[in-house]
Amino acid sequence: MAHVISIQRRSKEQVVNLMLTGGKVTAGYREALFAAANRAGVSVNEFVLTAAAEKLRASGSEFSGVFEPGDTEGAA
């Protein structure tokens, strides 16, 4: 289940909170995820949301950015 709380920004598109609950994964997956995020120098949340954005773009979804408009431009 996802809860969305809006935050007003100067950009044209609102940036909103996304709170996910109920996620259970294997210990091995969690370890790999934390290690990959650490190697990338980002938080686990940022790593997961960026990976999801890449998958959404690859499947044809269009959106202005993940954390702010334009932050995914040029990303494959």
Residue 18 lies in a domain: no
Long-range contacts (CB closer than 8 Å, 24 or more residues apart) made by 49-56: 49/18
Residue 4 lies in a domain: no
Residue 33 lies in a domain: yes
Residue 4 confidence (pLDDT)? 45
Distance in angstroms (rounded) separating the CA atoms of residues 40 and 64: 23
Residue 7 confidence (pLDDT)? 47
- Split into its structural domains, the chain has a count of 1
* 2-53 pLDDT per residue, tens: 444 444 444 578 888 888 888 899 999 999 999 999 999 999 999 999 999 9
For the chain, the C-alpha Rg in angstroms (whole number) is: 14
Residue 73 lies in a domain: no
The pTM score is: 0.73
Residue 61, pLDDT > 90, answer: yes
What SS3 state is found at 11? coil
